[in-house]
A and B are shown apart, each in its own frame.
Chain A
Amino acid sequence: MIVYAALAVIAGLLVGLSRQINGRLALSTSAMESSFWNHFVGFVFITCVALIIGGLFAGEPQESPWWAYLGGPIGVIFIAAGSWLIPRIGAAQTAMLIIAGQMISGVVLDIVMGAAGSPWARTLGVALILLGMWTSRSKRPNTITKHTHSDN
């Protein structure tokens, strides 16, 4: 159990790592080129692993609805946005705003699709996230500027 918990944390670390590396590539190239390489290298990697392990076409993938294939194009914009943002607002801000957007849109999607859920928990969760976003939007104290100045 502990092992799986550790693996789940590592998966999160790798999300951050991937965003950081893609952001570095975007610094030298462009956000869209970074997104392309992310997808292409990921595609080659997954193909290799799938060839070794097998079972790529298991199940009935041909039965899935057409819109399920839109995940790739959406991901292109998502990765490009992350690569563009991370050098501009930092990794932590990027991560927390993406998480906020993901969570709140998830609640909206659940409600639209009629998924069962506790209205109280949803309200409290969204309220906490909005409060956190509002906190980060408030003006930053000047002391950081001075500190940076002396460092240079």
Chain B
Amino acid sequence: MWRQCYPTCSLFPIAPQHKIGDACLMENTSLSPKPFHFAAAFGAGGLLTLMILCNGTLAAYGSLFFASWVPHLAGSIVALILLMALQPGRATKARPPIWAYLGGVSGGITVMLTSATMNTALALSGTIALGLAGQVLFSLFADMRGLFGLPQRMPSQRDYISLTLIIAGSLVLIFFGGEA
């Protein structure tokens, strides 16, 4: 598994002053969201809505390729400028594995898949609903196994309850909230 190749704890930069075992303990207990994390993730969801509005508008005028190509190009330029301005520095001296650079490929394939399914009987609502299911399943599995060198974390019963409520609410909005 990935996790064995890239053990989570030694690579985790949040608590470098701790020994490996301590850092592990700290991660697992601190993985319930603090107010700032909570607000940041919720706010990121709001950004996603604006992003979809923008990219969806591009797709209405140009091709679906164009609507994905332009934001990736503009995003690369803006991120490069921000990197040069902020100079955040690297968290560790150790080089990240090459596959860690390939997240964008996965994102690119996502765009192509969703543009394919959106035009079937699934429509946008079905595509979003099934996409949510896939996303939640993957994230639960990824947490349980600590996939790709990220901290391992067993979801609690509370997590399942809250996930169920959020997904239920999302499905209500997707299938019944859209049109009168």
Contact = CB atoms under 8 A, between A and B. Distances in A.
Interface in A1-56: 1, 4-5, 7-47, 49-50, 53, 55-56
Contact of B113 (A10, A72, A127): A10
A144 B75 contact: no
Interface residues of A, number: 127
B69 A129 contact: no
Interface in A97-113: 97-107, 109-110
Contact of A36 (B57, B76, B113): B76
B123 to A, nearest CB: 10
Interface string B26-51: 00111111000110111111111111
Given A90-B143, A116-B180, A41 B165 contact: no
A100 to B, nearest CB: 5
Nearest to A92: B139
B145 to A, nearest CB: 10
A46 B65 CA distance: 7
Contact of A28 (B25, B73, B91): B91
B114 A8 contact: yes
Contact size range, B? 35 or more
A38 B136 CA distance: 21
A45 B73 CA distance: 11
Given A47-B69, A105-B49, A11 B108 contact: no
Interface string B129-157: 01111111111101100011111011110
A95 B58 contact: no
A17 B138 contact: yes
29 contacts: A4-B120, A7-B116, A10-B134, A11-B113, A16-B134, A18-B103, A23-B150, A24-B6, A24-B150, A25-B96, A27-B92, A27-B96, A32-B79, A38-B103, A41-B104, A46-B72, A61-B66, A69-B70, A73-B78, A76-B79, A89-B32, A91-B140, A99-B167, A102-B45, A116-B180, A128-B169, A131-B169, A132-B162, A132-B166
